[in-house]
């Protein structure tokens, strides 16, 4: 343990920690698993109420049919602090290729036509960063990728792919929206 040189340094350090914790608390107050905000990570300029379907809202805001942010069991830490959704990594057209903060690969093309044809792009993932070949996805494979971060061959996707706890109804709506991106 590092010893402070004076009481003044000790209290300064404690004060800085308190200010930091207060800032984090104010920044995140009421945001975890609640209604989305329209800042970075939530779809940006896409405001509540501008969506043609629940699937589109999920894609842009990460908010389910219950009006709450869809929780996830694994994924980048910044999602917990800043929110996030499909659009943040895969883009408005679903074609991917947008760099992800702390990511090890570029997100792939998640348009339904690209996934089922196997033309979504090679990617690297898993703990060893092994290469995953282009493989055609079934609807079940897409659900498994979104919920468990596993590709059709059973390999783990990159750690920056969230493992979403999305309901069956919301997943169905999201799948229908992905089909419109073609």
Asked, for residue 119, whether it belongs to a domain, the answer is yes
**C-beta of residue 75 within 8 angstroms of C-beta of residue 161:** yes
Distance CA 2, CA 168 (A): 51
Domain that holds residue 126: 31-180
**C-beta of residue 48 within 8 angstroms of C-beta of residue 36:** yes
Say how far residue 96 (Cα) sits from the centre of its chain.
Answer: 13
Asked, for residue 8, whether it belongs to a domain, the answer is no
How many domains are contained in the chain?
Answer: 1
For the chain, count helices (H), then strands (E). Answer: 7, 4
Asked, for residue 113, whether it belongs to a domain, the answer is yes
pLDDT at 179 over 90: yes
Q: 159 vs 26, 97, 108, 122, 139, CA distance in Å?
A: 28, 16, 14, 16, 22
Asked, for residue 161, whether it belongs to a domain, the answer is yes
Q: Which of 25-39, 107-121, 156-170 has the lowest mean pLDDT?
A: 25-39
Asked, for residue 5, whether it belongs to a domain, the answer is no
| Of the candidates 6, 14, 60, 7, the residue with the CA atom closest to the CA atom of residue 38 | 60
- The 3-state DSSP class for residue 107 equals coil
Judge if pTM exceeds 0.85. no
Average pLDDT over residues 129-139: 71
Asked, for residue 19, whether it belongs to a domain, the answer is no
Asked, for residue 90, whether it belongs to a domain, the answer is yes
Report which of residues 8 and 35 the model is more confident about.
8
**C-beta of residue 73 within 8 angstroms of C-beta of residue 165:** yes
pLDDT digits (tens, 9 = 90+) for 78-114: 777 677 888 888 888 998 877 777 777 788 899 999 8
Average pLDDT over residues 15-32: 63
């Amino acid at each position: 343990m590092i010893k402070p040189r004076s009481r003044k340094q000790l209290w300064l350090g404690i004060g800085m920690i308190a200010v930091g914790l207060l800032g984090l608390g104010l920044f995140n107050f009421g945001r975890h698993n609640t209604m989305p905000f329209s800042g970075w990570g939530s779809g940006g300029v896409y405001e509540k109420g501008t969506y043609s379907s629940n699937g589109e809202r999920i894609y842009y805001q990460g908010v389910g049919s219950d009006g709450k942010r869809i929780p996830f069991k694994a994924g980048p830490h910044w999602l917990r602090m800043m929110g996030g959704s499909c659009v943040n990594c895969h883009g408005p057209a679903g074609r991917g290729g947008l760099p992800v903060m702390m990511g090890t690969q570029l997100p792939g093309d998640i348009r339904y036509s690209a996934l089922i044809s196997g033309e979504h792009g090679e990617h690297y993932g898993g703990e060893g960063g092994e290469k995953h070949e282009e493989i055609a996805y079934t609807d079940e494979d897409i659900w498994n990728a979104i919920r468990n971060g596993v590709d059709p061959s059973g390999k783990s996707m990159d750690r920056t792919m969230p493992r979403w706890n999305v309901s069956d109804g919301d997943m169905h709506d999201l799948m229908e929206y992905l089909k419109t991106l073609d």
